[in-house]
Structure 1
């Protein structure tokens, strides 16, 4: 009964947060608003559907029917299929479902507007790709071009991230896969693969049955709305596999723990050069270590990962980019832009409403069960992963460096929260999966999201 009460409280708080975040912007409460110093036109452009970045637009598209079919199939048969499949097939089927679900949601907005054209928009990375003719020079001078109001400043998204994000799309262009469609496909495939990484990590740290229960929730999560069309989906996929490899090494679920640990370091280190905020992935990584019965042994297992991360930081420094210089400059660039007009008095709590929208009420209910002190003392894997992701979100919010757009910016953290549904009683899984799927469909059909 106590755990049931936690579910109810968590869902009630989530619903109240979302309702308040959507209603408050229209009450005229001074600085408790998503945008200050704004004309009505600017408010509609940047805060029309706060706390989600988008515009009210009831619409259907080519992806509507496939999305409904995939969502219904996951609700009706997902839990049963996840239990009956051979384990080796579970991550692959989870990935394929997540990929199809994300693509169908994107296609509700159409091929160009919803998918192929998103990463070639005015402030996106692809607009900068043609200007990078000398990669070593671009790395050496990267920090010099972060601040705004310079003749050669990087465009918004390039300046707001380390060089790895831009380099990814430059390399893609160099091998002949230039343009928005190829970039979107890369993001879709890597981002949706995070679903497989999560079930692999959960199995490595807990029981296989828990991973099977989590599979339908991560396969048809509302986070897919932003996975397919935002570079943050790519970032999320990269670091998710970093955490999964670390979990395999620490959980001794692989024959080559040293190699798995080094691979984790490679991916998590690369993540540092995709997004400055991914330094907070140290918290889920620590959660993985905390799951080990022998903490000293876990630290020794993680040593190759630490060495590889430090080596990657050193390599970029040798090539001319010092991560900490970029981090300090990007904070200054952040406050040169719209951040000054996004008051923390609203976004400090409304960011969490966007998290609720991104993970769905089913996952929120599961998070309610994660706060079980007796269970946490035993350091169970899924509980620790959820707490690590929640702490990362909390620190990201308190930094005041991600006010608004957190439904996509926090994808590397929120995707882990979607697995919380595995903590719910199995008999309720279809109901909660239904809540997540319906929520995603409503949001995607009534709001034209910016990503």
Structure 2
């Protein structure tokens, strides 16, 4: 059996190699389009805006704001205390603490851009809110939804509405009808929902019997660079709803009594079915769901959850929106529109670079450390969840339906691969947390992030 020192050295090497690989990928993805004079977003000979920074959907705009000092202070406090608190707080205190810290971190980063840091994204005409304010008949919305997806339709949906099932639009319709439909107000609601994402993942881990992994991963789940995008993107809602669906499935898979297992499986199915009605790509959450069930062996929950999820899909179908009819129409619009101007040969690896920027390049080091960690092999449940996160990313990438903009589209995958930070060598934890915090500050202050 290898010594602890040997294991630490192996983990350290894997960490360095993983970080190096991620950084090289990012550098190449940024420099190749610049060196070639190639706008990979439009295939034009020259970029329409010299500040564009592929592979992100954003611009190079270095800036500071009134919230800069707050964001920096939070980063220092997180680096100093987050790890210690994650290990010492009671479980009852840990979950609300993650919510409060995540809320503060996301708002501080977003408000570096001033009040518009919360409002401008959701107020974009290609987003959901403007359309949601015009909806006065949900029945008509559902029955005409598919016919308005094609670009050729006279009254075609704007980009984000067309690219998703109606669940996400209905979420914003609900906000509007509750009086929460102003751009900034909706931005705060999205941020507060996203702030529960770490708690959902931590709850899943504890239910699966690996609370120690949850505590080690908590600082990295809360203070992730993805917070730059979570606080302003509707995809943060999708990520959070999906994570709570997985948590409910974990509850189903660990209940000692059949009735409790069936009940939680039904709840999980409804939540996950609703998630699929928010984004076609969330069918991939089935990979995480299977990882949960495979490691617990409670397969009874599977047919119940599938039936409940199918029930949600069928309710939408009875109202006029059948997902199996809509997806081919969307694929045609995507092929006719922007996808035709985004070369797959670049984006099949450029996407991975964008994901590394979103989740932080030192995630590569964490994945490397988890891959060689004896502790990870003992905590098989967590290792399976990390692997499921990586598989979801690869499947989404190879599908060709996510060419660019994955810094927001793949937000639902970020927390599952972030669990790899639980397995970095002890000597590296503080350094990697500092790197994640600094990276988030750099992304927020150097770039104009569209999402």
Normalising by structure 1, we get a TM-score of: 0.93
Structure 2 partner of 1:174? 177
Contact kept? 1:187, 1:231, Cα under 8 Å: yes
Listed as ranges, the matches of 1:130-209 within 5 Å are 130-209=133-212
Match of 1:271 among 262, 270, 275: 275
Distance 1:116 1:131, change over 3 A: same
CA distance in structure 1 between the partners assigned to 2:370 and 2:67 by the alignment: 34
- Aligned residue for 1:402, secondary structure, equals coil
Contact kept? 2:295, 2:381, Cα under 8 Å: yes
CA distance in structure 2 between the partners assigned to 1:349 and 1:29 by the alignment: 18
Contact kept? 2:208, 2:381, Cα under 8 Å: yes
- Aligned residue for 2:91, secondary structure, equals coil
Contact kept? 1:162, 1:275, Cα under 8 Å: yes
Q: How many residues align?
A: 442
Distance 1:288 1:372, change over 3 A: farther
Instruction: Please list every run of 5 or more consecutive structure 2 residues that lacks an aligned counterpart in the other structure.
Output: 1-8
Deviation sequence 1:294-337 (CA, Å, 0-9, x none) = x2xx1103333222101111111111110111111111111222
Structure 2 partner of 1:68? 72
Match of 2:22 among 9, 14, 17: 14
Normalising by structure 2, we get a TM-score of: 0.93
Instruction: Please list every run of 5 or more consecutive structure 1 residues that lacks an aligned counterpart in the other structure.
Output: none
Structure 2 partner of 1:339? 339
- Aligned residue for 1:304, secondary structure, equals helix
Shift of 1:352: 0.7
Match of 2:41 among 35, 43, 55: 35
Shift of 1:379: 6.8
CA distance in structure 2 between the partners assigned to 1:353 and 1:117 by the alignment: 25
CA distance in structure 2 between the partners assigned to 1:270 and 1:108 by the alignment: 33
Structure 2 partner of 1:415? 415
Shift of 1:376: 7.3
Listed as ranges, the matches of 1:309-320 within 5 Å are 309-320=309-320
- Aligned residue for 1:299, secondary structure, equals coil
CA distance in structure 2 between the partners assigned to 1:429 and 1:365 by the alignment: 11
Distance 1:370 1:225, change over 3 A: same
CA distance in structure 2 between the partners assigned to 1:94 and 1:253 by the alignment: 28
Moved more, 20-29 or 82-91: 20-29
Shift of 1:364: 2.3
Deviation sequence 1:415-447 (CA, Å, 0-9, x none) = 222222111123321111000000110111000
CA distance in structure 1 between the partners assigned to 2:218 and 2:111 by the alignment: 23
CA distance in structure 2 between the partners assigned to 1:160 and 1:197 by the alignment: 26
Match of 1:50 among 47, 54, 58: 54
Structure 2 partner of 1:244? 247
Listed as ranges, the matches of 1:47-446 within 5 Å are 48-112=52-116, 114-252=117-255, 256-292=260-296, 295=297, 298-372=298-372, 380-446=380-446
Contact kept? 1:102, 1:224, Cα under 8 Å: yes
Contact kept? 1:288, 1:385, Cα under 8 Å: yes
Moved more, 62-71 or 376-385: 376-385
Contact kept? 1:205, 1:380, Cα under 8 Å: no
Deviation sequence 1:131-153 (CA, Å, 0-9, x none) = 31110111011101001132111
Contact kept? 1:290, 1:379, Cα under 8 Å: no
Deviation sequence 1:71-94 (CA, Å, 0-9, x none) = 111111011111110111112111
RMSD (CA atoms): 2.0
Structure 2 partner of 1:448? 448
Distance 1:377 1:419, change over 3 A: closer
Moved more, 435-444 or 7-16: 7-16
